[in-house]
A and B are shown apart, each in its own frame.
Chain A
């Protein structure tokens, strides 16, 4: 019913109001404010004579098309929810500070890690003012040893975990999405998974070498299995959604479908797995060293623990310091990982 006449009444009706807006003194100048539906300048009924109240208002198609939905952002909500978990946040910060401290610790300390000027007289000195964490079997400063080992172990764990997760995600994506390869990867998975990993590790250590590099690569080579299977199962959930069909209709290549359509949905799971993989790798490194499958020349938490356990309960402090650090890292990553996974669940975004 939008005839010429009604348009005219609209203009007549609104013209004086527009002119008067200056007088109200309350004109909203902030364009970003969330306005209720309607015209910003129409403030209340009293500002309009009654005959105008019942005149037709101007129809504005743009106003009607305005987005009526909330400005919800997934990652913002994840972050806000994560910050609510105070313990996880504090532990996360504490871990970060400790990692930085591993770099400064040797500068603060009085001795170099390898320096043992008088080994025979300095064996197993209990912590004192001179040697804050005491000394080890060959008289080296344990303070320097512990912090150096922590740094090395964390770096190894982070790199190995990243490698495992990256390999696992890539294989898992292809495994889950490409139906033809499902059989191949399933058999490969079964083949590798049915033999205990420790046997592979032993073989590699004995045949290739026990250096940190070889063992790190070996850990990556056999550590992707769990992630790949997890990712594959998740891909199943998204594989047949219509938006992937739409991408196929548009001729999108496999790599792009995986990276743009599937991967973004898995990010939260991947971060969680990464968070849990780091303490696992540290623990695994400790196990390997304890079993004598890893080089003992470079101090790592595993080395210190296995050396300390050999003399336990004598010089028990050599066990307590690295054990405390391993426990701290494990608990921190476990709690932070869980807090993050809770924060990632959209059902908690209330």
Chain B
């Protein structure tokens, strides 16, 4: 059976707060200002911000891209890019000012006392050297060990970070390790010298949720063993809730709020923190709009006057546009930079969603009375039908089956979600439907007509106009060398769907307005826009074809938290106003629960379970679904820290004796398993 790992990291925040208040900081940054010179312009990435770090604590710094969270911590290890420098302030560590360090001075500190783990484990390892060599190099250099001793130490470290068979792994190269294993190696190298402070820059962003939980656990264990201070840099509030004692929120190059995790999550004071938390899909009510933050983060090229968040702040005061707010103390450990906290300011109640967060146990969630239940609707209309779909890549011995024997139907007007980890084949299915990936076996039907394989020219045109796709990475999915006008009207031009040029421009303008962009943006190039705006340009490009069905391939996973809500709301609005049907591909179950009507869980190219969203959350049957559900990050620190992690072990299936089948166990609840398994599932359901 699958094993259950109990998370034993429930903390008493009050006790930690007392400990912190009694201590002297080990590192103290004061009024740090960092400027970069870029294309002849000055960019102030960090605007005079201060931070104290205490021994043994875990501090999480959250913020959107461009908020300066990475740059700020890079100052602590002297790893700023060449064109950037600390132009003001001090960073005191062990009686010395790190802000004045030269490259030579840094050699004493970097890696030995303050170490860093970065996001992408592939780029931080040398692909030409064995793992053992790379860790050993570090051990020899920093601990002065030689020969056998060094080798033994490497084995010990590999074991400590949870890599089995260290003797065999020692001789392997990075490409022979999986993403999670590679990140363990990077962590192993970072902690090999027993640093006092470890900075983890988005250590789990590139990893799947189930792996993510294991890596976080590992870091926590190492921290306890070596009494390290850890700084996490992340945009994922679930990770923050899981690991942080203290949380710092950054915006526009400043820490705008800092406090113990329970203070920041349950009693946030800054309107930006409010907005950030309430934009979480986990806190959203299905069928209602998510409270999104409009607009985009400020450009740091411009001088920022007053509160950087003011233009996007619905509670902004006049003074927010004029003067930078001072830092107000809420409690001994909790400070906030917002004029709203001034005694003269009017009282503003934090939004509802914040209250929901403190009450929340995400297991029971109000059901939407308007929710669409396809299996209860006798008039449901099948839009897409996927039958025994198989997609393979490569030929001969290098043949790889990406997707095998996949069956599902998508009904008109629903949002059908496909959830799985990276490499599970979810994107392949989406691309097979829009006919980018050729189908090896089986077929795809659209309104009862086959659209896979060879089809007639009229059918081809019809399919292209009715089925569109939204892509994952808004940076890669727009042609950088074409104006927005051309990008949006590309489909129109291909099929000449306009009377004259005036009519075409009119359609572009309407499409841009429909996705909440200004019509005058059409004369600009994509690089002038932020990620969320670019994603909306991509949506406008699909909408202009007036499709009935849209394949949305992880449309929000590359976006910042504050932007995600904008795009989710837009997709929901369009679904209502245009009667669209979506295939929503995602890896994040919390997002999927908010947006979709039915969810299919896919593992290694096979769909293992398919049910209505709430039904799946209420009665998950397949062990893999259970594992995925248990790993869903929760923004409530207490819930997140006490969650039980279920690890899925595929060897529990005994399919060699009895072949598994795709069984409808309840109306519209399908699961993949053989007879004994199905009987077990039935028992679970009390049948």
Contacts and interface: CB of A to CB of B under 8 A. Distances in A.
Contacts of B323: 45
A313 interface: no
A186 interface: no
Contact of B294 (A56, A57, A65): A65
A36 B302 contact: yes
Given A37-B311, A54-B342, A242-B471, A252 B38 contact: no
Interface of A: 1-2, 13-14, 34-39, 42, 44-45, 48, 50-57, 59-74, 77, 241-243, 245-253, 256, 260-261, 264-265, 349-350
A73 B296 CA distance: 21
Nearest to A65: B295
A69 B317 contact: no
B436 A249 contact: yes
Given A71-B528, A251-B465, 11 more contacts: A37-B298, A54-B346, A61-B294, A62-B518, A68-B298, A245-B477, A246-B477, A246-B538, A246-B541, A250-B490, A264-B481
B516 A55 contact: no
Contacts of B322: 38, 42, 44-45, 48, 53
A45 B302 contact: no
A180 to B, nearest CB: 13
A243 B476 contact: yes
Interface string B443-466: 000000000000000001100110
A134 B542 CA distance: 72
A350 B39 contact: yes
Contacts of B481: 74, 264-265
5 contacts: A13-B318, A56-B317, A64-B294, A252-B494, A264-B481
B298 A55 contact: no
Contacts of A63: 295, 311
B38 A350 contact: yes
B193 to A, nearest CB: 32
A250 B486 contact: no
Nearest to B479: A243
A227 B135 CA distance: 44
Nearest to A61: B294
B318 A251 contact: no
B239 interface: no
B644 to A, nearest CB: 38
B314 A59 contact: yes
B479 to A, nearest CB: 5
Those 8 A-B pairs whose CB atoms lie nearest each other, nearest first: A64-B295, A38-B321, A264-B481, A68-B299, A242-B477, A250-B491, A251-B464, A53-B319
Nearest to B464: A251
A298 B530 CA distance: 60
Instruction: Name, among A39, A57, A253, A264, the residue most crowded by chain B CB atoms within 10 Å (CB to CB).
Output: A57
Given A243-B479, A245-B471, A246-B469, A55 B517 contact: no
A59 B312 CA distance: 8
A57 B316 contact: yes
Nearest to A63: B311
Given A1-B349, A37-B306, A241-B476, A350 B37 contact: yes
Interface residues of B, number: 80
A48 B303 CA distance: 22
Contacts of A51: 344
Contacts of A350: 37-39, 83
Given A37-B305, A37-B310, A251-B494, A48 B318 contact: yes
Interface in B522-537: 524-525, 527-530, 533
A54 B339 contact: yes
Tell me what chain B mostly uses at the interface: helix, strand, loop, or mixed: loop
Nearest to A238: B479
Contacts of A66: 295-296, 311
Contacts of B316: 56-57, 59
Contacts of A74: 481
B517 A65 contact: yes
B545 to A, nearest CB: 7
Contacts of A250: 464, 468, 490-491, 494, 541, 545
A59 B299 CA distance: 19
A247 B527 contact: no
A77 B306 CA distance: 32
Contacts of B318: 13-14, 42, 48, 52-57
A48 B317 CA distance: 12
Interface string B315-330: 1111111110000000
B482 interface: yes
B447 to A, nearest CB: 18
Nearest to A68: B299
A135 B46 CA distance: 72
Contact of A245 (B320, B342, B436): B436
Query: Which of A35, A37, A59, A66 lies at the interface centre, i.e. has the most chain B CB atoms within 10 A of its CB?
Result: A37
Contacts of B493: 256
Nearest to B315: A1
Contacts of B376: none
A70 B346 CA distance: 36
Contacts of B1: none
Contact of A249 (B469, B473, B516): B469
B348 to A, nearest CB: 6
Contacts of B128: none
A279 B319 CA distance: 65
B101 interface: no
B84 to A, nearest CB: 11
A54 B245 CA distance: 33
B384 interface: no
Given A68-B530, A245-B436, A2 B476 contact: no
Contacts of B482: 260-261, 264
B83 A37 contact: no
A57 B317 contact: yes
B303 A36 contact: yes
B59 to A, nearest CB: 28
B608 interface: no
Contact of B491 (A37, A42, A45, A251): A251
Contacts of B479: 243, 247, 260-261, 264
A38 B477 contact: no
Contacts of A242: 471-473, 476-477
B528 A69 contact: yes
Nearest to A17: B318
A68 B486 CA distance: 22
B527 A72 contact: yes
A350 B477 CA distance: 25
**Among the interface residues A35, A42, A265, which one has the most CB atoms of the partner chain B within 10 A?**
A42
A248 B486 CA distance: 15
Nearest to B322: A45
